[in-house]
A and B are shown apart, each in its own frame.
Chain A
């Protein structure tokens, strides 16, 4: 479990990027972390990884504090940063030298993921394109079978077919012991892949719920008219009238549209908080 407890962080103590932030992530789920540019997504992930130290509060991952950077924590933790770097060796050499650090690394899985990504074999990493390097790292990260896997903008730099391969590969890598946390701007790339969503804005967490909970409280649909309907939180004109996000009074199940959800949350944070407030 990843437990972020009342964490504040900023690059200088008088200008905090986020304040008193709390999160609980449970195994067996794929979490999507959304937020505008500069909302502090990457910084939050780096705090969780122990690369940055919180100014206040505490982060605990399966009983370990990431900032201590202990081997037992690091063995079960893999981060794919936004800007990746791989050493200039062959893919073979890369797994030969790095995989022994991860006790649960599975080479056949790694090969399977590379095949899934249509990667040629036996290449020197420096000869690969940026997108291909990213595929190697994603495949490696998934194959380490660490309990905690964090990806910061993983689909940046991937071409169109790889995005679908990415969803395939990640969905098959989830198991009940694993937490996968993905931060992204490209919500469409995560469609149907994530089961819980975290929205970070203005140094706070606005939404931290499973999509099931969200579809219980909100309904995503099309209305002929969106005016004078006080259930509607967000609407945009479409061919058939208005696509809207509205309060789900009728308890009808609809498909959560991440992009519209994000816009609804950004437009109306106070109301969202009220809707999701647990009594």
Chain B
């Protein structure tokens, strides 16, 4: 796995896990790889993966069955969306606003472009 430069590793691993869940690779309610296995696969320190698991457990995305391992929560996907939204609004949106401001792009223009984007990318949802 290619890690990005800025963000701390345990959060990047959290994103990776969430992605697996959203893509359906790790179905809800199923067991996910052990800390050691995932650390091996990603070539990272197991303690880092442990920290990620604890973090995701705190967000109720995964849970720990003692002596068995970690499992994805049945409501994992909705919780991930919630969590991702929160993260987006917190950290990515200000960055985005900053660029808008710097390049003097108006909200009206943005709105127009957003509409076109949805129409071409996700026509079925209209």
Chain A–chain B contact at Cβ < 8 A? yes
Interface residues of A (CB under 8 A from B): 28-30, 164, 167-169, 171-172, 174, 191-195, 212, 215, 220-222, 253-257
A271 to B37 CA separation, bound complex (whole angstroms): 39
Give every chain A residue within 8 A of B11 (Cβ-Cβ): 253
Contact assessment for A172 and B39 in the assembled complex, using a CB-CB cutoff below 8 Å = yes
Report B12-66 residues with CB < 8 Å from chain A CB: 12, 36-37, 39-48, 51
Q: Which single residue of chain A is at the shortest CB-CB distance from B43?
A: A167
Interface residue from A29, A30, A172, A222 paired with B36 (Cβ < 8 Å) = A172
Interface residue from B6, B7, B40, B48 paired with A192 (Cβ < 8 Å) = B48
A257 to B5 CA separation, bound complex (whole angstroms): 8
Give every chain A residue within 8 A of B45 (Cβ-Cβ): 30, 171, 174, 192-195
Contact assessment for A192 and B3 in the assembled complex, using a CB-CB cutoff below 8 Å = yes
Give every chain A residue within 8 A of B3 (Cβ-Cβ): 191-192, 255
Interface residue from A29, A172, A174, A255 paired with B9 (Cβ < 8 Å) = A255
Give every chain B residue within 8 A of A30 (Cβ-Cβ): 45
Interface residues of B (CB under 8 A from A): 3-9, 11-12, 36-37, 39-48, 51
B8 to chain A, nearest CB (A): 4
In the complex, how many residue pairs between chain A and chain B have their CB atoms under 8 Å apart?
Answer: 64
Contact assessment for A255 and B40 in the assembled complex, using a CB-CB cutoff below 8 Å = no
Among B36, B42, B47, the one with the most A-chain Cβ atoms within 10 Å of its Cβ is B47
Contact assessment for B48 and A195 in the assembled complex, using a CB-CB cutoff below 8 Å = yes
Give every chain A residue within 8 A of B42 (Cβ-Cβ): 192
Contact assessment for A29 and B47 in the assembled complex, using a CB-CB cutoff below 8 Å = yes
Given A171-B39, A172-B40, the answer on whether A215 and B8 have CB atoms closer than 8 Å is yes
